[in-house]
Structure 1
Amino acid sequence: MLVVDDELDITELITLYLQREGYTVHTADNGEDALRIAETLIPDLIVLDMNLGKMDGIEVCRSLRSGACADVPIVFLSCKSEDRDIIRGLSEGGDDYITKPFSPGQLVARIQAHIRRRRTRERNGEDAAAVLSFPGLEIDFRTLEVRLNGDKVALSAKEFELLSVLARQPNRVFPLEELYRRVWQSDSMGDTRTLMVHVSNLRKKMESDPARPRWVQTVRGFGYRFSPGTPGDD
């Protein structure tokens, strides 16, 4: 586990809570050290402060996503709670976004959910022999790849999981709470904006017209569904 924050008291607090749960924790207080440690150790998860000074969290996240830590879950910490800040963090590769001040217990629970999901996926290979095929779309759980009209779509780990949950039960409407629980492996709903941003990012990568999505559609007042049929208005 890697915790990156330039506020020592926060780093020590998170480290204390994680060590109580039996995790080995490495820390860094700047982006350069964070990248060096991450590329060397390949941690199970990275807690990353957005505001690090010379090299901010967004820059660190971009570098991590282009290297050996491309699939490592990243949980952003930030004192910024505006929609545009959350959207930016998740769009740049974050898997989760938690605002300061935060509950250490809730942070640990979210971290455990990400790690549990990743380890389950690695252990089971997401049904290693399974391939879901729809007209123009293929989801391969052996290689964790998605192909749209024959072209590979570069999805983040959470985007792939989100698509997988929906596509395994086409046309079923998933309430927001259930979809969040399945993808983030948490009984707590957390921030609905996290789920909505990931849906938005998924559409931008997969839909020719994200405003009229073919694949991941909104059922207003209920949640989302995967539709292998025709586009709908969102």
Structure 2
Amino acid sequence: MNQTSLSVLLVEDHPTIARQVAGFLDGLRWQCDHADNGRLAIELATRNAYDVVLLDLNLPDIDGLEVCRAIKAQAPSNLPVLMLTARDAFEDKARGFRDGADDYLTKPFDLRELALRCEALARRGQLHLRQELRLGPLTLLPREKRALYGDTPLALTQTGFKILLQLCREHPQAVARSSLVRTLWGDDPPDSDALKSHIYSLRKQLEQAAGRNLLATVLHLGYRLDLDPTVGLDAVRQGG
């Protein structure tokens, strides 16, 4: 198969299944973030940009159907959800589609079929409406993982974009370092202070575009954007 590189959020609490799926996707050179509970899944899906969510229905804290509804309501882009479950009755599938699922795959499944379905959903998502997020002079395009200050594109890494997206979503509040670390690396952060390096690069990009420092350090807490505190984050849908 000739796969396009995708960014996937895997929501699965069974460690063996999670390792198998994540290992297979890693072999395709796809990016795969993992959440083993519903609350973390909603947090990641609403703060990061993914091409597809692979969602198990049987989660330890929140029912997968409720997680699906929350992702569909809160995600910053039109995010396809592929449900993975052992529930194979028609009524279960119908309920999943009614709650926002874009596709349904019954366990056990062939990992090659999983990849094909992910690619199909990602292509379909490109045809749907996209969502721009605007915060004052900043414009973020989550699906494209791009950002602009005014008309000036920001040369951000994928990690830098994730940081900026979280800062925008929580503006005018500061974002704790611990929250950023969890968003970027989950429960397995790097040994070195990698966050500081990414913050430095993001600060330089913003300062070059704006002509002043837009990324403020909040002592003993984290970081915030130095923008008008009365300006809120707006979502603008455009034809894609």
TM-score by length of 2: 0.48
**RCO higher in structure (CA 8 A, sep ≥6):** 2
